[in-house]
């Protein structure tokens, strides 16, 4: 399973390196979303600083959708989806590999978005340990959930509209938890950030486990 995961993850990242979709399309999209938030909040500096964690994670959520869509679009060109099944790769390995590749891309995007938030919203980053741990855990959860639902939607003609409908309600707790944890880390609220981190960790654990267990059933759908 791990060997297959490394193989698939490596392949996905190599595709990304060659096609540069995430860097050339999703990243600008992410920065644009931040700009739009600025417009929507009418440059209100205090408001933006207060809202920065939430806005950051909403932007990440939107990027997750794109990253997952792209992960499966890669498989769909010219019948390549059959290729994954035909290769005889362990489905659990495919899941972990794809989720890992999505997570890696998301982390890169988050670094960019983090910089964007500092620059555009004037946030300054404190308690980096909590920030980074939260980001990692939340990203794992997002990538795992997105990859599972992406597989479900992958073969369907309505996948572009169905995927957000499936994924967003399910990852809502991640948005909630990550925002709260970041607000704690940035001293914007008095909540216990570590409690929220624990919540994010359970979410990620649940989806990673379930993904590994359920993926073989899902891959079988033509």
Partner 1 sequence: MTGAGTSDRVTRVLGAATLVAVAATAWIGLVVSPPDQTQGELVRLIYVHPAAATTCYVGFGLCALASLAYLWPRTRSRRWDSLAGASAEIGVVFCVITLVSGSIWGRGSWGVWWTWDARLTLTALLLAVFVGYLGLRRTGGDPDARARRSAVAAVLCVLVVPVDHEATTWWQTLHQGNTLLRSNPLIHGWQLVGMLVSFVAFGLLFAWLLVHRYRLELLEDRFDDEGFAAAIAERRAEGAAPVRQTAGQS
Partner 2 sequence: MDPVIRFRSAVALVGRFPVLAGVDLDVTRGEIVLLQGANGAGKTSLLRACAGLLRVAAGEATVLGADLVADPRAVRRRVGLLGHATALYDDLSAADNVRFAVRAAGGSVGAVGPALERLGLTGRLAGASVSSLSAGQRRRVALAAVVARDPELWLLDEPHAGLDAEHRDLLDDLVRDAVERGATVLLASHEHDRAQPLAGRIVTVAGGMVTPTAPPFHPRMTAAHVA
For binding to partner 1 (CB under 8 A), which residues are involved? 145, 148-149, 152-153, 155-158, 162, 165-166, 168-170, 172-173, 176-177, 180, 189, 191, 195-196, 199, 202-203, 206-207, 210, 214, 217-218, 220-222
Would you say 87 or 202 has its CB closer to partner 1? 202
Q: Is 88 in the site for partner 2 (CB under 8 A)?
A: yes
Q: Which of 77, 124, 128, 158 binds partner 2 (CB under 8 A)?
A: 77
Would you say 181 or 219 has its CB closer to partner 2? 219
Would you say 86 or 111 has its CB closer to partner 2? 86
Can you say whether residue 88 is alpha, beta or left, with left for phi > 0 and alpha for psi between -120 and 50 degrees? left
Angle between helices 193-219 and 91-121 (to 10 degrees): 140
Q: Which of 19, 25, 191, 209 binds partner 2 (CB under 8 A)?
A: 19
Q: Which residues bind partner 2 (CB under 8 A)?
A: 4, 7, 11, 14-15, 18-19, 74, 77-83, 85-89, 216, 220, 222
């Amino acid at each position: 399973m791990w060997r297959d995961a490394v193989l698939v993850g490596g392949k996905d990242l190599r595709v990304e390196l060659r096609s540069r979709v995430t860097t050339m399309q999703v990243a600008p999209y992410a920065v644009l979303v931040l700009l739009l938030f600025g417009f929507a909040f009418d440059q209100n500096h205090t408001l933006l600083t207060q809202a920065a964690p939430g806005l950051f994670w909403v932007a990440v959520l939107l990027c997750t959708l794109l990253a997952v869509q792209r992960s499966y679009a890669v498989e769909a060109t010219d019948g390549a989806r059959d290729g994954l099944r035909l290769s005889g790769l362990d489905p659990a390995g495919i899941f972990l590999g794809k989720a890992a590749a999505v997570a890696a891309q998301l982390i890169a995007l988050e670094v960019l978005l983090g910089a964007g938030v500092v620059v555009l919203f004037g946030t300054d980053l404190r308690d980096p340990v909590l920030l980074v741990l939260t980001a990692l855990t939340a990203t794992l959860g997002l990538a795992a959930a997105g990859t599972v639902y992406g597989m479900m939607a992958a073969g369907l003609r309505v996948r572009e509209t169905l995927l957000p409908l499936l994924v967003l309600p399910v990852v809502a707790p991640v948005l909630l938890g990550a925002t709260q944890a970041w607000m704690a880390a940035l001293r914007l609220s008095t909540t216990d950030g570590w409690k929220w981190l624990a919540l994010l960790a359970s979410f990620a654990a649940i989806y990673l486990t379930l993904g590994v267990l359920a993926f073989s059933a899902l891959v079988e759908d033509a």
